[in-house]
Amino acid sequence: MGIKKNYTEFRNALTKGDTKKAEEFFKKAFEDAFALYQLKLTNNEKFDLSNEDELFAVVTLFDNMLGFYKEWMLEEGMAFAESMVELVDSPKLKEMFKGFSLGMQAGIPLDEFMRDYVDLSKVDEEFPQFLCNFKEKIKELIKNT
C-alpha cells in the first residue's frame, strides 16, 4: 500500500472516529514518507509533486510538522520546516513551510497562528491538501526576521 493510500485511510479512520486505526495508517504513511524524505536529503533531490505518492509524502510530513508545532516541539518543527523548503520546487509550498517556521520561531501557539495568520477561508486550487494561504498579518512576522 502506498503513502497516498495509507494517508487517505488515516483521514477516513479519523472521520469515523476510529483513532486506533487512524494511528496505524498514519504510522505506515509516515514511515514511508520519512524514508523518502531521508532519501531526498541524502541524494540532494526534490520531491516530485506530480507523483501522487511523493505529493502525499509531503502532505504526511506536513501533518507531522503540525504535530511538532501543536506539541510545542518547536526546535524539531522549525528544523523540519526549513529542510522542507529545500526539498520542494513549488514557491507556494516553500512559502507555506517558511510561514509556519516563522510562527514557531515567534513562539505563537498553533491555534493562534492558524486563527490569526492562516487564511482558512481559501482552498488552494493547485494544492488543496495544504494550508498555503496566509493573511496579510504574516508580513509582520516576515518583517521581524
**Which positions ≥6 away from 118 have C-beta within 8 Å?**
99, 131, 133, 134, 135
Grid cell for residue 5: 493510500
Name the domain count of the chain.
1
pTM here? 0.91
Angle at CA 96, nearest 5°, toward 114 and 59?
90
Q: What range defines the domain where residue 37 resides?
A: 3-143
Share of the chain above pLDDT 70, in %: 99
**Per-position b or e across 124-142, b if 16+ CB within 10 A of its CB:** eeebebbbbbbeeebeebe
What confidence tier does 142 reach under pLDDT thresholds 50, 70, 90? confident
Instruction: Tell me: pLDDT of 88 over 90.
Output: yes
**Which positions ≥6 away from 12 have C-beta within 8 Å?**
none
β-bridge mates for residue 118, sequence order: 134
Q: What is the pLDDT of residue 100?
A: 96
Residues 96-113 pLDDT 10s: 999 999 999 999 999 999
Q: What is the pLDDT of residue 145?
A: 64
Give the least confident one: 8-12, 25-29, 60-64, 121-125.
Answer: 121-125
Grid cell for residue 25: 495508517
Share of the chain above pLDDT 90, in %: 87
Q: What is the pLDDT of residue 124?
A: 86
Instruction: Tell me: pLDDT of 123 over 60.
Output: yes
Cβ atoms < 10 Å from Cβ of 23: 13
Helix (H) or strand (E) holding 78: helix 74-87
